[in-house]
Each structure stands twice: as structure tokens, then as C-alpha cells.
Amino acid sequence: MAEDKGKKDSIRMSQKGCQTNNGFVQNEDTPELEPEPSSSVSITGAGEPDAQRVRPYAGMPKEVLFQFSGQARYRVPREILFWLTIVVVLLLIAATVAIIAISPKCLDWWQAGPMYQIYPRSFKDSDEDGNGDLKGIQDKLDYIAALNIKTIWITSFYKSSLKDFRYGIEDFREIDPIFGTMEDFENLLAAIHDKGLKLIIDFIPNHTSDKHPWFEMSRTRTGKYTDYYIWRDCAHENGVTVPPNNWLSVYGNSSWRFDEVRKQCYYHQFLPEQPDLNFRNADVHEEVKEIIQFWLAKGVDGFSFDAVKFLLEAKDLRDEIQVNKSQNPDTVTQYSELYHDFTTTQVGTHDIVRSFRQTMDRYSREPGRYRFMGTEAYAESTARTMMYYGLPFVQEADFPFNNFFTTLHALSGNLVHEVILSWMANMPEGKWPNWMLGGPDSTRLASRFGDQYVNIMNMLLFTLPGTPVTYYGEELGMQDILAPNINERYDTSTLLSKSPMQWDNSSNAGFSEGNHTWLPTSSDYHTVNVHVQKTQPTSALKLYQDLSLLHANELLISRGWFCLLSSDSHSVAYTRELDGIDTVFLVVLNFGDPTLLNLQEMNLGLPPKLRVRLGTSPASARREVDSGGVALERGEGLILEYSAKRLLHQQAAFSDKCFISSRACYSSALDILYSVC
């Protein structure tokens, strides 16, 4: 009874005078107001409120709340909201899964922007000794970042006698004093990462210096090092060596050298001071693996493995076949006079390269820290070069570096077309292309073709699919220097493209404040330098920056289809397009005499007028051109823009001319890329 009475009192107190109960009484001394007769609440049953007369109010006890919560007008909306929330959550989960499932793989850092190759001895001297160094590179990182570079590639800087100025390594774990210290390297690497850039370095596993500790122990037959190199018995009398076979060095003459200590001949593909390692020895494999791990642990983002085609030689030492079989064998001394079927790309070479990849993959598991692997196998055929991509399920290099443009010594639309098509048509499906225009061992662009072709070749580089690779100074149009007077026993022409970087028109082109430089600067450094070109709106440097920005900001170029349309002795034309975007870039490049190009003859469905997005010359600043007659000067290129209802790669007539590496489609409604097109 007391409990029933308490319930009735609770209901009665909450409805006094139909006034709102605020739940709490601020002053207990406040006199309680008597309810008006008309506002009294009738009690029915066992103290249950009359649901028709009682309204919900703040501070209701749970007993009253339960009376209302069960009513349909409160229960149904609540249940609707509950199930609606469940449905929305499930839809969001499903949408997230669907977006992930249909989204294409994001471009990795080595795909997303250009690489910039630096020959460290020639980039910037920080200590006035006339040699470029690691601190000098660090001092110029702001310049590199201003080029919109994503990856810095530094060629060999290991402790070395510098024979061939790249390859004679005495210690793979030490920095050559010319370039600085290990602390300098670590500071440079940290500074590169602080700017959001990546660093890859050269690694030459094929050979060492003859002053390397391994070779010193091998020639004395010390323990496991006895067979670290390739030794064979050979006749040696009165200072004359009769080699084991007719194999030749890349630099000419026999690739065998007699060693007075071991009384045997050792094999060297390059200079006698660069003996080849024996990669058929498991201990050599392990040593090289540990070197790779050493630099990965330092934090480098990848390697360019150089001279990989020379890693193995035929076991039986068979003589190689002469190109000219009628030539007297005793007069065969030049490398080009033999077919190198037994000294390059032997069975097992790709197993070694895959082992390098597996070692690097163990350091790629951390998100955002993928380690890049490139290979250099120059002078290989296109088919053999493609083998370094690996197999569909067994990866080797992310890409073998494509140096085929560096082998051209003349330009025409047909030649450029041939180089592009040979790579794109032979590249394995789903692999990523790359393009190089120069390098430490190649003649510079401006010296090969003339400075009028610098801009058009850089436009070609940035509008082709894949990763552009720029050798330092090519963004300015630097030229080779005249042959320096250096007393070495190899082809000094390889030094001509390694002249000091031209920063300004001060002494030594701003490369060094010392009294001399290790190589002379080019005679044109007063006008061809960074400081001058930064202030010229039509300079090669300014165009390079514009092209790199376009490459970074336009999905058509970074992810789109590439359709190689036409070529002749003068010009080449191709498009870049992407599903979901009706804008198309049409690139036309003229390498020959001035011409009037009728683009309507290509049957592309072009409008009468085309917008000029970017051009190589001041005359290209015109906003529109007539598609029926585009006037192009020698060395002039245009990136034209138009809208198309149907893209070329969707048309049967062009299907065999269009290529894509990583397919993606764009949704303008959602502003996302997806792969199910």
C-alpha cells in the first residue's frame, strides 16, 4: 500500500496546476502550490496514469517513461531510426569496400615524378678543392625541388681509385674522401627525405678494384676468398701472356691479365684494375647481399644496379665468334669485333637479379618505404632488356633503364617513332616505362643534335607515358666540353658530358670557389646557366619547369592512354587521354625542316580550332591553331588540347596504336579514379 501511495503521489506532484516539473527544486522552503481542481490527475487501476491526459515531461520517473515508450507513435519512429542507422552504416561499409575494390593501384613514388641523375664530382663543390661533393648536392636541394623532381639518383661515390671515374670500387661501405664522409652522406639523405624526395644510388656488383681487400686475399689464395674472382691458368713467358681464350675487354684487347703473385690470369670485362667477381661462388652472393642491406639500413630508397648483363660468363670459356670470320684472329682486339654470346646475359643472370630483388623486398614492407630497383644493361637488344622486368609472378627490376634515345645521333619523326614503339610494344603487360635522354656515358643533347632540339626533346620526355629521367644540366641545354688532357688509358670521351654544372656566370660557372676544377667548364656557361635562365620566361629551364608541372598535375599524362598516331621524316604526333575525361592532349613535334602539318588528315575527328596548352618557342604562345594547317619550325613542339566525345583508344581503327601501363578511369561526379572501366 505504501508503494502504491508513493506512485500516486509521484504522479500528482508532477502535474500540479499543469505546470512543468523542472526536475529539481532550487529552494525547499518555497511553498508548495495547491493544484487547481481542474488539473488533478485521475488515478486508474493500480496507480497507472491515464495516457490520454498525461503528457511527457522532463524528469519523468522510469515507471511513467515506460508507459509512453510502448506507444506506437513513440516506438515506431524509434525503430525506424534504428534500422535506418543500421542500413546507412552497412551502405557506407559496402561503398568503402567497393571503392577499394575498383580503385586502381596508386602510383608509387618512383612512378609519380621525374628522376634527376647527378654525377657527384661535377654537381657542386662545397670545399673549394675543385671536386663536387655530397655537401654540394645538399646545398642545391632547393633547386632540385624547384624542378618538381621526385627522385634524386646519385652515381657511384664509393671509395675508389676512380679508374673510369665510376667503377673501380675499393670499399663498398665507405664514401670516397673526394665526396666527403659517411656523416655527410647521412646528412644529405636526411635532408632529401625532409624535402619529401627520394634517393637512389648506383651499385656495381660485377667487379671491384684490384685494391679491394677481397682481391688482395684472393690473389694470395686466402681462405674463402680464393675463388672470389675468375682465375684461370695461362701461359706467361718473357712478359707475354697467352690468354685462356679470345675474350676481349669492353675497352679493347684481351680481358685476361696475368697476376705475378698468384701466377694465374684473372678476368676483367672492363679495365685490368677492375677484376670481375665470381658470381658462381655462393660466398660472393652473400657478400653482395650484405652490402645491399648495409645501404638499405642507412635509409636509401633504392638502387640502380649497373652492368648486370656482365654478371656471369660461360663456364667452359669457349672462344667467342668473330663478327668478320675472315679477319685474322690475331688482329681482333676491339670489343665490337666479337659476338659476346658467352660473356653477357648467361643462363642464371636473372636468378642473381631476382635475388637482389628479394633482398630489397624485405625492406619494402613498411608502408610508404617501398625500395626501388632499376637495372642498367646498356647495348642490349630491346627483347633482352625487357627480360629485366621479370616474369608475371616473379619480379625483377621495377624497370630496366631505357637509354635507347641516348643512342640516337640524328633526329627524325620516324626514328623517334621507332624508339617509342619498340619499347611500348615489347614491354610486358602492366609494367611501367621510363625514358632517358642522356647520362654520364652519353653525349649531351645539345652536342648530339644542336641546342634548337633541347626544348623539343624535353617536351617528348615529359609527355611520354612513364617516368622521365633527366641527367643534370639537360634542363639547361648544357653541352659537352672539348676533350680534356687527362692521362688515362681509356676513352676520355666518356668525360665530355661530365663537366661541372653551370650555376651562374661567375668564375668556374659557380661550381667551385677554388682555383681550379677537376674538369673545365663549358665555354658557353656565361649564358647557359641556372641564374640567367631563371630570369628568362622563354628559357629551357622555364619550359622544363612548366613541363614537369604539367606532368605532375594532369592525369592525362601521368595515368592516361598513349596513342602513337603518325610519323614521317619530319614530325611525330601522339595523344594522351583518359576514360572519364573528354579533354585530349595532342602532342606534335617537328624534328625536320619547317612544315605545315594538316592534322585533319589523321581522321581523329578534330575540331577546326585547337587550343595551345604549351609550346617550345615564344611563337607557340598563340592561344589557338588551325587543325587544318599547323605551322611548325625546326625543333618546335606543341601540346594541343581539344574535347572529344569518343576517345581514340575506344575506336577499333586506333586500338593497335594505343598503350597503357596502369589502367584507370576518372569519375568527375565522385572525383576519383577507378579501374573497372
Instruction: Please name which of 653, 649, 654, 651 lies closest in space to residue 665, comparing C-alpha atoms.
Output: 649
Q: Look at the chain and count its residues.
A: 677
Per the DSSP assignment, residues forming a β-bridge with 116 are: 152, 470
**Which of 180 and 39 is assigned the larger pLDDT?**
180
Q: 258 pLDDT exceeds 80?
A: yes
Q: 25 pLDDT exceeds 70?
A: no
Q: 32 pLDDT exceeds 60?
A: no
Say yes or no: 384 and 502 in one domain. yes
CA distance 662 to 450: 35
User: Average pLDDT for residues 148-162, to the nearest whole number?
Assistant: 94
Compute the chain's Rg from CA coordinates: 37
pLDDT band for 26, please (50, 70, 90 cuts).
Answer: very low
What is each CA distance from 91 to 77, 454, 667, in whole angstroms? 21, 54, 20
C-alpha cell at 425: 610494344
pTM of the predicted model as reported, rounded to 2 decimal places: 0.86
Domain containing 185 equals 114-206+282-310+347-551
Average pLDDT, the chain: 89
Say yes or no: 338 and 401 in one domain. no
Weakest mean pLDDT among 6-10, 176-180, 204-208, 317-321: 6-10
Confidence (pLDDT) at 583 = 95
Confidence (pLDDT) at 491 = 64
Most confident of 26-35, 131-140, 562-571: 131-140
pLDDT tens track for 400-417: 999 999 999 999 999 999
Contact between 158 and 174 under an 8 Å Cβ cutoff? The reply is yes
Contact between 509 and 529 under an 8 Å Cβ cutoff? The reply is yes
On whether residue 15 sits in a domain, the answer given is no
Confidence (pLDDT) at 242 = 93
Confidence (pLDDT) at 11 = 42
Confidence (pLDDT) at 31 = 43
Q: 521 pLDDT exceeds 70?
A: yes
pLDDT tens track for 157-187: 999 987 666 688 999 999 999 999 999 999 9
Say yes or no: 226 and 267 in one domain. yes
**Which of 100 and 462 is assigned the larger pLDDT?**
462
Say yes or no: 385 and 482 in one domain. yes
Instruction: Please name which of 411, 299, 422, 292 lies closest in space to residue 360, comparing C-alpha atoms.
Output: 292
**Which of 34 and 375 is assigned the larger pLDDT?**
375
Confidence (pLDDT) at 344 = 95
Confidence (pLDDT) at 57 = 75
Which member of 276, 301, 306, 313 is catalytic?
A: 306
Q: 28 pLDDT exceeds 70?
A: no
Confidence (pLDDT) at 53 = 60
Active site residue 194: no
Active site residue 306: yes
pLDDT tens track for 42-96: 444 444 445 556 677 777 787 777 777 777 777 888 889 999 999 999 999 998 8
Say yes or no: 70 and 170 in one domain. no
Contact between 472 and 439 under an 8 Å Cβ cutoff? The reply is no
Confidence (pLDDT) at 6 = 47
Say yes or no: 468 and 582 in one domain. no
Confidence (pLDDT) at 465 = 97
Weakest mean pLDDT among 6-10, 214-218, 338-342, 367-371: 6-10
Contact between 479 and 447 under an 8 Å Cβ cutoff? The reply is yes
CA distance 238 to 561: 66
Say yes or no: 173 and 242 in one domain. no
On whether residue 32 sits in a domain, the answer given is no
CATH number at residue 450: 3.20.20.80
CATH number at residue 587: 2.60.40.1180
Say yes or no: 225 and 365 in one domain. no
CA distance 588 to 630: 9
User: Average pLDDT for residues 297-303, to the nearest whole number?
Assistant: 97
User: Average pLDDT for residues 617-622, to the nearest whole number?
Assistant: 76
Confidence (pLDDT) at 108 = 93
Which of 72, 102, 132 lies at the terminal end of a domain, its last residue? Answer: 102
What is each CA distance from 151 to 76, 211, 389, 547, in whole angstroms? 61, 33, 20, 16
pLDDT band for 102, please (50, 70, 90 cuts).
Answer: confident
Count the domains in the chain: 4
Q: According to the 3-state scheme, what is the secondary structure of 196-262?
A: CCEEEEEECCCECCCCCHHHHHHHCCCHHHHHCECEECCEEECCEEECCCCCECCCCCECEEEECCC
Say yes or no: 355 and 496 in one domain. yes
pLDDT tens track for 441-467: 999 999 999 999 999 999 999 999 999
Which residue type does 219 have?
R
3-state secondary structure of 425: helix
User: Average pLDDT for residues 582-602, to the nearest whole number?
Assistant: 95
Say yes or no: 262 and 293 in one domain. no
Confidence (pLDDT) at 488 = 55
What is each CA distance from 623 to 536, 542, 612, in whole angstroms? 21, 19, 5
Say yes or no: 564 and 535 in one domain. no
Q: 306 pLDDT exceeds 80?
A: yes
Which member of 273, 376, 546, 577 is catalytic?
A: 376
Confidence (pLDDT) at 557 = 96
Sign of CA dihedral 194, 195, 196, 200: negative
Angle, CA of 483, 489 and 494, to the nearest 5°: 40
Which of 508, 533, 551 lies at the terminal end of a domain, its last residue? Answer: 551
Contact between 579 and 677 under an 8 Å Cβ cutoff? The reply is yes
Which of 522, 551, 580 lies at the terminal end of a domain, its last residue? Answer: 551
Say yes or no: 78 and 177 in one domain. no
Confidence (pLDDT) at 46 = 42
pLDDT band for 493, please (50, 70, 90 cuts).
Answer: confident
Would you list the DSSP string of 291-355? HHHHHHHHT--EEEE-SGGGS---TT-PPPPBSSTTS-GGG--SGGGB--TTTSS-TTHHHHHHH
